[in-house]
Amino acid sequence: MSFKQDTDGRQWDYIKDDLKSWRNSCPRHMKPYSRLQGENTTSHLFPAIWFLQPCHGARFIKAEASQQELIRQLLAFTQPPQVGVVRPSAQEVKNWTLDSRNLEKSVRHMHRDGLVVVEDVVPHEDIDILNKKMIEDAHTLQARGDKGPFNYNKGNIQQDAPPVSEYFSPSIFTNPIATQITTAMMGPRPKWTFCSANSAMATLPGGTPQRQPVHSDADFAHPDHPFALVVNIPLVTTTPENGSTEIWLGTHNGFGLDAQEGAHGERASGRIREELLRQRQEISPPLQPVIKKGSIVGDARHDPLCTVVQEQNET
């Protein structure tokens, strides 16, 4: 650790107090701090540099991390969480390519929050064709009742897009802007491995609106680094009133399988423990954002504490 020659008096007071604290906490057999000495050294060339024992460096790092965490928690109370939104120019949309600044913003939001929304990049006419068919299919699946592909409760069903060419629009399924972001995050030639949807259904007559528990889709052992990304395409503008996905920003980092309840393969796997949710809510509460039709939503999936909750509503 080194200090500059122009450090002011107040900073030196802080530094001296820290050094005294470190010295008092060191074992007796350890020297608290010292200059490099010896005939063959060059320590005399650097009179302002003091070399600390490793234990001091560790304590300093821990103290700095604690201060940063405190600042982050304080900011959470003054700045409500917001989804990072990127709005491409008309030229970017026309060329199906983000410029360097918007690409950097997208990647930054993904790393920081685990989520980014890029607005107005999917033509509405392509969405409308697919949405009409998927509404028909959703009612068919819902009518199966207990035999239907529901998730956690019957207010949410697992629904695949129809594997038919007339509904397969490249602007939706192989959107170049989405691929540009996934490539920037994960490297060239990302592999598409899964295509499905989770539909929040309208409440049936006489029924009660339901919601999924807060859960992680990554309910299995996985790396800490981004190993998978999800690209969501909302087929309508999503709002809290029609069942917008509840998200917990930043929960893609810092949690493991021990945060979950329910084993992989069970219908209700990946549920997040209630005490962890209460702790997280004090730092960064969840939100149900309004996401415009025509957007793409990038979602980082190295996230045991998940961003996915969908609520069934009256509409």
Report pLDDT digits (tens) over 128-157. 999 999 999 999 999 998 898 987 778 888
Q: Cα angle vertex 255, ends 250, 261, to 5°?
A: 115
Residues 6+ apart with CB under 8 A from 226: 110, 185, 186, 300, 301, 302
Which amino acid belongs to residue 20?
K
For residue 102, report the phi and psi dihedrals to the nearest 5 degrees. -70, -30
Residue 111 lies in a domain: yes
Residue 162 lies in a domain: yes
Residue 1 lies in a domain: no
Q: What is the pLDDT of residue 205?
A: 82
What percent of the chain lies above the pLDDT cut of 70? 72
CB 94 within 8 A of CB 71: no
Q: What is the pLDDT of residue 135?
A: 94
- 288 shares a domain with 142: yes
Q: What is the mean pLDDT of residues 82-97?
A: 96
**For the chain, what is the domain count?**
2
Q: What is the pLDDT of residue 14?
A: 74
Q: DSSP state, 151?
A: E
Query: Taking 50 as the threshold, does the pLDDT of residue 265 lie above it?
Result: yes
Residue 309 lies in a domain: no
- 31 shares a domain with 95: no
Q: Which residue has the tokens 């234990």?
A: 55
Reported as half-sphere exposure (CB side, CA atoms, 13 A), residue 206 has a value of: 0
- 253 shares a domain with 143: yes
Angle between helices 54-78 and 9-25 (to 10 degrees): 120
Residue 305 lies in a domain: no
What percent of the chain lies above the pLDDT cut of 90? 33
| Each residue's pLDDT tens digit, 35-54 | 444 444 443 333 333 444 45
- 87 shares a domain with 31: no
CA 59 to chain centre: 29
Residue 110 tokens read as 């993904």
Please give the Cα distance from 172 to 96 (Å, whole number). Answer: 12
Query: Taking 70 as the threshold, does the pLDDT of residue 280 lie above it?
Result: yes
Query: Taking 60 as the threshold, does the pLDDT of residue 311 lie above it?
Result: no
Query: Taking 70 as the threshold, does the pLDDT of residue 282 lie above it?
Result: yes
pTM above 0.75, yes or no: no
Residue 256 or 38, more confident: 256
Q: What is the mean pLDDT of residues 31-37?
A: 46
- 238 shares a domain with 146: yes
Q: What is the mean pLDDT of residues 157-168?
A: 92
Domain that holds residue 286: 82-300
Q: What is the pLDDT of residue 305?
A: 40
Q: What is the pLDDT of residue 47?
A: 37
Residue 51 lies in a domain: yes
Q: What is the mean pLDDT of the chain?
A: 78
- 97 shares a domain with 63: no
Work out the burial of residue 163: count CB atoms within 10 Å of its CB; fewer than 13 is exposed, 13-18 middle, 19 or more buried.
Answer: exposed
